[in-house]
Amino acid sequence: MLPAPKTWIEVSRSALRANAATLKRLAGRGVSFVAVVKSNAYGHGIPQVVRSLRSSADWYGVDSIDEAVTVRAAGAKQPVPILGYTLEGRLKEAVDRGFRLTVYNDATIRRLAKVATAKKPARVHVKIETGTSRQGVLADDLLPFVARARRNK
């Protein structure tokens, strides 16, 4: 028999909702509230957090397509941007499911142009490199990248 865990997490749904309401109030009207629930809602459970914020979140941000599917399975109807990298072989699935994708390279744009249709368009958000040197379009390359992306239907 395993020993009882030394640590655990208790999440207050009312505190979560109150925090979301405060953030929305401080941001002001016309600003969307994106509840970032990547990494299993930072260990708190995507389904539990999504259900808690159902009436507060305008969007849910995730790291992967699998997390996006979990958000949908929890009943969320809001837009779900995938903030992390999506494998080329799963781009069609992401488009077909209506998820939004983060893009920062021409290869992804070209692949999306092949899998998107008028009925199932690819909805994308451009990731800008902010100094972490992980991924993103460099500031000097941003306008040409966006221009190339826009040439695709």
Q: Phi/psi at 100 (nearest 5 deg)?
A: -95, 145
Mean pLDDT, the chain, whole residue set: 93
- How far apart are the two ends of the chain, measured CA to CA in Å? 58
- List, in sequence order, the alpha helices (H) in 28-90: 38-43, 46-52, 65-73
pLDDT tens by residue, 13-24: 999 999 999 999
AA identity, residue 59: W
Residue 131 clears pLDDT 90, i.e. is over it:
no
Q: What is the pLDDT of residue 2?
A: 80
